[in-house]
Amino acid sequence: MSGSAKAGKSKLIKGATGDWEVVIGMEVHAQVSSEAKLFSGASTEFGGEPNNHVSLVDAAMPGMLPVINEECVRQAVRTGLGLKAQINKKSVFDRKNYFYPDLPQGYQISQYLQPVVGEGIVIVDMLDGERIEIGIERLHLEQDAGKSMHDQHPTMSFVDLNRSGVALMEIVSKPDLRSSDEAKAYLTKLRTILRYLGTCDGNMEQGSMRADVNVSVRRPGDEFGTRCEIKNVNSIRFAGQAIEYEARRQIAILEDGGSIDQETRLFDPKNGETRSMRSKEEAHDYRYFPDPDLLPLEFDDVLIEELAASLPELPDDKRQRFIDEFGLKPYDASVLVAEKRSSDFFEVVANGRDGKVAANWVINELFGRLNKEGLDIDSSPVSADQLGGIIDLISKGDISGKIAKDVFEIVWTEGGDPAEIVEAKGLKQVTDTGAIEAIIDDIIANNPDQVEKVKVKPGLMGWFVGQVMKASQGKANPKAVNDILKDKLGL
């Protein structure tokens, strides 16, 4: 675990009176990917007309009984397996009682003392190469609430129950995170795992993944400090900003001789600040008790084994395979597996080719270009086969790496088969040593001064190479150029 002993100096925050360590734990609400809600057959589709996906159960009509959606349970177990977590064959649904206009039951069905999934682990690769392990405390299933709409009418508020009863997984981490960067990387990795598993689409803009971010600060080596919980953060970037602000707010209070009130806060993206929503004294007493309408949730090993056997290859395993099979650098492998579609794309490009070269082209040329244009891999104008074709032309010696970038550009803007483009535009590399020799002889004859200088200043070789490439319009084979130049210049 990334305990304080491992916390590097750079993760500490400088206060006026010395260094502070920030401690973060996350409660992530992930909407279960499923056609129907947790306890009713109503649709979970996003963006429907208000109150169009509401069954009598979701509207809490008297006498309606919840019926568990087995697919949601399978999704929770799959997620537990993906988090290398303890799966509890018996768990209990409880009522969490509170009043809110968008909660027609007057309680939320959740899991409290006996969740379906227990302790697990998420491995997070940091940009600097450090690998940290973040403990998972638990994962439980619960219902989402509806949505109050206060901006539709001057004097009335409306309620949309489309989301009421949709299945959520609450994934609670241990307080193992030590910086906003670690927190952001954790959320990113968790989202990657959920997407690989197909158990949550991870779409934070649509609210299918939201995080409650718990933040406290302490002197390195001290006990944990009092935490504040920042509710419902709906983007990874905002989570980072909220932590940075909140840690400094707490440090300023403590350095001023004050103490931290345990409270619930909200992050305001407009000014990057957190503000108090309610203090612990006003906290609800939810009066949890087992829901008498539902039996305990029980399943056997067969279900767990079946689901385990059908899990897809997960990002950590795929990353290791990319390192072993293609000889990739760990960082490159992490970049490629971050999105399943990117890793699939890479595997098509790398198939039968040099994996490192393929990774270099996918990450630096393709991803670089996609980023610049704000596109994702699905809308890439250059297909995996086209990119593979370009790499083949380089490895056959038909084109240099530099011309390959021009071909990439042509394929990007105009499409087409790379080999045909090279043929049609006469971009083929000149490997004919006679032709290259002729160019070199010409340049040597016309630049006697440079020829004298290069004998004492071998760095000038680059100038000669440049001249030859220019004269050949970039088509001379760079290795042949170097060899012949060295020979003729006597270097």
Which residue ranges make up the site for ligand ADP (CB under 6 A)? 23-27, 172-175, 214-216, 224-225, 227
For residue 216, the minimal CB distance to ligand ADP (Å) is 3
Alpha carbon 280 to its chain's center: 33
Say which residue the tokens 């130049």 belong to: 485
For residue 284, the minimal CB distance to ligand ADP (Å) is 11
What beta strand segments (E) does 144-208 contain?
A: 147-149, 158-160, 167-173
The CA-to-CA distance between both ends of the chain, in Å, stands at 56
Q: Which is nearer to ligand ADP, 226 or 482 (CB)?
A: 226
Return the structure tokens found at 280: 């612990």
Give the residue among 37, 4, 34, 5 at the shortest CA–CA distance from 21.
4
For residue 226, the minimal CB distance to ligand ADP (Å) is 7
Q: Which single residue brings its beta carbon nearest to ligand ADP?
A: 25
**Residue 369: partners with Cβ closer than 8 Å, 6 or more residues away:** 412
Q: Which is nearer to ligand ADP, 211 or 443 (CB)?
A: 211
Distance CA 304, CA 296 (A): 17
For residue 276, the minimal CB distance to ligand ADP (Å) is 17
For residue 213, the minimal CB distance to ligand ADP (Å) is 9
Element of type H or E holding 28: strand 19-31
Return the structure tokens found at 182: 């670690």
Calculate the alpha carbon distances from 52 to 59, 105, 163, 227 in Å. Answer: 11, 18, 10, 40
Q: Which is nearer to ligand ADP, 83 or 481 (CB)?
A: 83
Q: Which is nearer to ligand ADP, 112 or 158 (CB)?
A: 112
Q: Which is nearer to ligand ADP, 77 or 139 (CB)?
A: 139
For residue 172, the minimal CB distance to ligand ADP (Å) is 5
Burial of residue 93, with CB atoms counted within 10 A of its CB: 0-12 exposed, 13-18 middle, 19 or more buried: buried
Q: Which is nearer to ligand ADP, 177 or 307 (CB)?
A: 177
CA torsion 264→32→318→304, rounded to 10°? 110
Q: Which is nearer to ligand ADP, 227 or 353 (CB)?
A: 227
Q: Which is nearer to ligand ADP, 26 or 480 (CB)?
A: 26
Alpha carbon 305 to its chain's center: 28
Calculate the alpha carbon distances from 195 to 188, 313, 347 in Å. Answer: 11, 12, 18
For residue 26, the minimal CB distance to ligand ADP (Å) is 5
Distance CA 355, CA 434 (A): 34
For residue 262, the minimal CB distance to ligand ADP (Å) is 9
For residue 120, list its beta bridge partners: 136
Contact predicate 275/239, CB 8 Å: no
Q: Which is nearer to ligand ADP, 22 or 333 (CB)?
A: 22
For residue 137, the minimal CB distance to ligand ADP (Å) is 6
For residue 212, the minimal CB distance to ligand ADP (Å) is 7
Distance CA 123, CA 134 (A): 6
Q: Which is nearer to ligand ADP, 280 or 486 (CB)?
A: 280
The percent helix, strand, coil of the chain (3-state, each to 5) is: 40, 20, 40
